Structure 1
Amino acid sequence: MKKTILAMAVPALLAAGSASASINLYDAEGVKVDASGAAEVQYIQEIGNNRDGAWKLDDGDFAINTEVAVSDKLSVIGAMAFEFEMNDANSNYDKKGIPTGESRSNVENDELYVGFKGDWGQFTAGRQYLLDSGITKDYELSANSFGADYEQAAQVGKYVYDNGTFYGAATYTDKSDGIDDGSPEAINAGNLGDDVRVYEARLGYRFADVDARVYYQKADNVNRNSDDDKDAYNFEIEYAGIENVGLAASIGRTSSDIGGSDTDTDYTSIAADYTMGKTTFAVGYDNKDQEGNTSDVNGYYANVTYALHSNAHVYAEVGDSDGENEDFGYVAGMEVKF
């Protein structure tokens, strides 16, 4: 079966012209194979002090997803995905050790998982992304938006359920080295403490034109060999009851106990967009209030997006912050996906 799938998948991928959200490569005998990908390039000057504009290969992704029907109510799934990221221009050197000023790309396997899928939801295990959070409508320049520290890991178990009205998800990550804590092998390796463990949960409810949800993440033993921990929560709400308008707001907090020092940081974000034909305009404001700082930090951004096609768009964005000695930022980019 593997040879049959590959033999049909490669020609189909190369011959694909106009693309949709994904390309179906194979669908027979209860086996489905889809491919998807994206390429995004930007010219960006980030918000900050003494910044300058530079080209950025922001996003390059390629993914293969497989679903195999075991019965009418159960399927097994598998996926692998690769991410193309740009190195810093000064990280490449010629034979004489002189920086070439040329940026190259690394290719990383960012997803590799298997699992089960049915009416009860979906469970997957392996290398995968953790739960999304945040409601901002920016591309790059939301200076203070809420975000938990852990986004992706290799040893992840994830459960997701969505019936259209109620939805929820949970993940458990154990960054284990495979050695018993406190064993001679662990002591020799310098691993005296427990593994880093991350727990997440999300619950949401959709009614009328409202989508509301709460998100929580907790990380134990953040720095191995210590009792450091972090936790974060965020309440998010979106409203789409006005024609061509989208409104969103969120409020959240991250708390960290690192080296015996407790720090709380509060986040607030509001955002809105308006679509007129193929053009979408968006604005947003965010605020960060960190315990111990004498003043909040406020961020602002605005962008415009033009859809060349359902799978291709161009955009431009500006953003600023009232943080000390921070210059405004801007970005222009294009994304093409299939």
Structure 2
Amino acid sequence: MKRNLLAIAIPALLVAGAANASIEIWNKDGNKLDLYGRVYALNYLGDKGNTVDGEGDKTTARIGFSGETQVTDTLSGYGRFEWETHTGKNAQDETRYAFAGLNFGQYGSIDYGRNDGVLKSLTAYTDVLPEFGGNASNNGLYVLSARTDGVATYRNSGFYGLVDGLDFAIQYGDSKQIDEPLANQTTDEIFGSKESYGMSAQYSILDTGLTVGAGYATTSKAKTDERAKSWMGGIKYDAYDLYLAALYSHTSYDDVKIKGVELVAQYGIDFEIGRLTPSLAYIQHKTDGSDADLIKYVDVGLQYDFNKNLTALVDYKINLLDKEDIGAGNIKANTKDTVALGLIYQF
């Protein structure tokens, strides 16, 4: 769903409009401003004992804007802000994105603020399920893999105009990721809040539909100089209505090593009105050298796009954890399955 709803991988897409459907509210004298948003009516059906996913109303609403101002023929400035509010039992508000930067054309762009961690471009390969997924960035154990406070990011597309399809990014900042971590620990508690940095690169191979990517990020713990290190590698194929993706992730800190594997397959079927996309995925993250899994499930989902503004979905998370596993957010693993039903209106 994230792949279909938001295009946030590179600044060119950011300043052009962060969602597939956006409203241009100003475009004059080299200044452009787009408004976008969505209402996501969502409900989880599951056992009341399912403390990982919970149950009931999960509805959210988002609003944001992206803007661009042309300074010269080769220099422009841009910015983005996005805010979200949650309903239901644990209602809360959140500033998801807030950053500004400069774009130097083929020489790349640099921005600062609250933005995606540099490894998010890789976790996006498999973060495409109708509702679930995204576990490589939503657990707090992989450095600079989720939305992160106070990061400076340099991005370049096409390797300075020399190699079409070769993109890379370099990032420096603190390590305070925003997404929900494992074991109810914040990323600060796991890694600390000293300096962190990372880099990633992707190469889209001609017109084959194949893209390969890899990345590395590291940060130091708050009370020691020992560094936590994360590596990721992924591959995706997107052509002829077929989408296939695989992601491998690894983190080491202290004497702990975490590794994860995510596999996704989707196929789009066009109708006279709308498009149906079935999906199948396998997700597993575990401590290396241990039989205890942190996250393990099979996901079966359906997404129906009536048009670019309206989407209906159903997503079934088949939990494969055993009671002996650690589990995400719990001392003992929760083995309950969860079904998500949703309707999305976006502009």
* Category of TM-score, reference length = shorter chain: 0.7 to 0.9
Match of 1:61 in 2: 62
**Structure 1 residue 78: Cα displacement:** 2.4
Cα RMSD, aligned residues only: 2.7
1:249 pairs with 2:250: no
Match of 1:201 in 2: 199
1:125 pairs with 2:137: no
Pair member with larger Rg: 1
Match of 1:110 in 2: 96
User: Matches of 1:167 and 1:272 in 2, distance apart?
Assistant: 24
Aligned residue type for 1:113: F
Q: 1:160 aligns with which of 155, 164, 167?
A: 155
User: Matches of 2:203 and 2:31 in 1, distance apart?
Assistant: 33
**Structure 1 residue 226: Cα displacement:** 3.1
Match of 2:37 in 1: 37
Helix, strand or coil at the partner of 1:240? strand
Match of 1:230 in 2: 228
Q: Deviations over 1:76-106 (max 9, x none)?
A: 12232222234x62xxxxxxxxxxxxx5442
With over 3 angstroms needed to count, the CA separation of the structure-2 counterparts of 1:247 and 1:267, relative to structure 1, is same
With over 3 angstroms needed to count, the CA separation of the structure-2 counterparts of 1:44 and 1:228, relative to structure 1, is farther
Contact 1:144 1:298 in 2 (8 A): no
**Structure 1 residue 144: Cα displacement:** 5.7
Match of 2:72 in 1: 71
Contact 2:40 2:61 in 1 (8 A): yes
Match of 2:132 in 1: 141
Match of 1:82 in 2: 83
Q: Deviations over 1:249-273 (max 9, x none)?
A: 122211122xxxx111221121101
Identify the range of structure 1 (124-133 vs 245-254) with the bigger mean alpha-carbon deviation. 124-133
Match of 1:270 in 2: 263
Q: Deviations over 1:256-308 (max 9, x none)?
A: 22xxxx11122112110111111000001122331352355642001000112
Contact 2:130 2:303 in 1 (8 A): no
**Structure 1 residue 154: Cα displacement:** 3.2
TM, length-normalised to structure 2: 0.73
With over 3 angstroms needed to count, the CA separation of the structure-2 counterparts of 1:336 and 1:321, relative to structure 1, is same
Contact 1:252 1:267 in 2 (8 A): yes
Aligned residue type for 2:250: R
With over 3 angstroms needed to count, the CA separation of the structure-2 counterparts of 1:30 and 1:240, relative to structure 1, is closer
Contact 2:109 2:156 in 1 (8 A): yes
Helix, strand or coil at the partner of 2:250? strand
Aligned residue type for 1:158: T
Superposed counterparts of 1:239-318, under 5 Å: 239-241=237-239, 243-257=240-254, 262-277=255-270, 278-294=275-291, 296=293, 298-318=296-316
Contact 1:320 1:328 in 2 (8 A): yes
Aligned residue type for 2:31: V
What stretches of structure 1 of length at least 5 have no aligned partner?
A: 1-18, 90-102, 177-193
Match of 1:95 in 2: none
User: Matches of 2:71 and 2:300 in 1, distance apart?
Assistant: 48
User: Matches of 2:34 and 2:211 in 1, distance apart?
Assistant: 29
**Structure 1 residue 48: Cα displacement:** 9.7
User: Matches of 2:154 and 2:116 in 1, distance apart?
Assistant: 12
What stretches of structure 2 of length at least 5 have no aligned partner?
A: 1-18, 159-163, 177-191, 324-334
Contact 1:146 1:267 in 2 (8 A): no
Q: Deviations over 1:202-227 (max 9, x none)?
A: 10101122111012221212xx2333
**Structure 1 residue 23: Cα displacement:** 1.2
The count of corresponding residues between Structure 1 and Structure 2 is 280
With over 3 angstroms needed to count, the CA separation of the structure-2 counterparts of 1:294 and 1:126, relative to structure 1, is closer
**Structure 1 residue 62: Cα displacement:** 1.5
Match of 1:173 in 2: 173
Contact 2:143 2:175 in 1 (8 A): no
**Structure 1 residue 240: Cα displacement:** 2.8
Helix, strand or coil at the partner of 1:285? strand
Contact 2:265 2:281 in 1 (8 A): yes
**Structure 1 residue 43: Cα displacement:** 0.7
TM, length-normalised to structure 1: 0.74
